[in-house]
Amino acid sequence: MAALTKKEIIAVLKQCYDPEIPVDLWNLGLIYNIAYNNQSAGPVDVDITMSLTTQGCGMADQMAQDIKQKVETLHGVNQTTVNVTFDPAWKPEMMTDEAKEKLGFYPTPAPSEKTESNEWE
């Protein structure tokens, strides 16, 4: 049996979404840590530490349950625990470039202003 990889877990996390934001939790930068014993011969327990975009988010339990259910479908995973933390507090800078672009954090470049004279002048 092939050992579980972090890449496999991240692929699953990219299928988990904040219900209010059309970007997955991984690209939002809400996943702070993934821990498991990759030296184990049998199924492993996975511990995931995540945050929320705001402390008052009422969707924490729903998102944690979604992560737990999806990660536990991976071959080699015994049990998944999801811990929510606000230390450090999440900031938009934690998002990947993909998420920033999807959410419009990159402004459209302004048309360049040419200082040289127009040809018809």
How far is residue 19 from each of residues 1, 57, 67, measured CA to CA in Å? Answer: 35, 11, 13
The CATH number linked to 65 is 3.30.300.130
110 located within any domain:
no
The structural domain count of the chain equals: 1
42 domain residue, yes or no: yes
Angle at 50 between CA 44 and CA 56, to 5 degrees: 140
Asked if residue 102 belongs to a domain, the reply is no
Q: Which residue has the higher pLDDT, 61 or 1?
A: 61
pLDDT at residue number 56? 82
Query: Is the distance from CB of 13 to CB of 24 less than 8 angstroms?
Result: yes
Record the pTM.
Answer: 0.82
CA distance 121 to 48: 65
**17 pLDDT more than 70:** yes
Q: Are strands 44-50 and 31-35 parallel, antiparallel or unpaired?
A: antiparallel
Query: pLDDT-derived band of residue 67, with 50, 70 and 90 as boundaries?
Result: very high
In this predicted structure, the answer to whether residue 37 has a pLDDT above a threshold of 80 is: yes
Q: Tokens 């999801």 map to which residue?
A: 82
Domain that holds residue 58: 6-96
Adjacent-strand bridge partners of 17: 24
Which residues neighbour 115 within 8 Å (Cβ) at sequence distance 6 or greater? none
